[in-house]
Amino acid sequence: MTTFPNSPRLTKGALIAIDPAGFSPLSTIVFQYNPENLTRTLQPQGVEGEGALYETERLKGAPIETIRLEAEFDATDRLEEGDETAEEYGVYRQLSALEMLVYPKTALVAANTTSLSLGMIEVIPPTGPLTFFVWNWQRILPVRLTELSITEEAFGRRLNPIRARVSLSLRVLSYNDFSWKHPGFTFFMAHQTIKETLAAMGTADNVENMAAEENRTILFSASI
């Protein structure tokens, strides 16, 4: 029984892979420990070239956003509890689920290989899963995994990793990357709508704080 029964439940981040064909879930990768740091880089998409001020201030669309984070996976506690799955695989199953985010399905690869062997001139490259980065209800973003670096730090009796650090680089996919009918378009629009609402709330708070500070300054000046 927990010492603090009324303590808030910790929200965990996750990556969710969706089959783009039927929009059915393929895998859900919940972070065992939430990353301590999350770096976001936004590159504005302005109109290129020189021109009048009203032209140079135009935006072509949403900025290109990159999210970088480091996640940890550890099977030590489960090994101490005698978990047979942990003894057999360590954290290799979780790592495999992450790696499958950048693999096409073997069935699609086999189908394309068969088509090529039958003399088909043009074969459409197989598609990977549609991936969502879920941090909280305010941030559910379609992303593309652009870099995955895995450091395996300890190994079990079958040489499967017991601990691992994973560095992820995610390119956020905006409405610039989808047709308006695609579910990813809807998810990103919802994300930006939430961001606009929070920005308006933050602006209102700043104005209120500035007004309060101005009143304090006036009162202080009057008392001198």
| Averaged pLDDT for residues 53-78 | 86
Among 222, 77, 95, 64, CA closest to 161: 95
Q: Give per-residue pLDDT as tens, 175-205.
A: 999 999 898 999 999 999 999 999 988 776 5
Which tens digits make up the pLDDT trace of 145-173?
999 999 999 998 889 999 999 999 999 99
- Which of 1-10, 51-60, 177-186 comes out lowest in average pLDDT? 1-10
pTM over 0.85: no
Using alpha carbons, select from 199, 180, 99 the residue that is nearest to residue 147.
99
* Cα–Cα distance, 144 to 153 (Å, whole number): 26
- Closest to 171 (Cα-Cα) out of 45, 66, 15: 66
Residue 57 Cα to chain centre, angstroms: 29
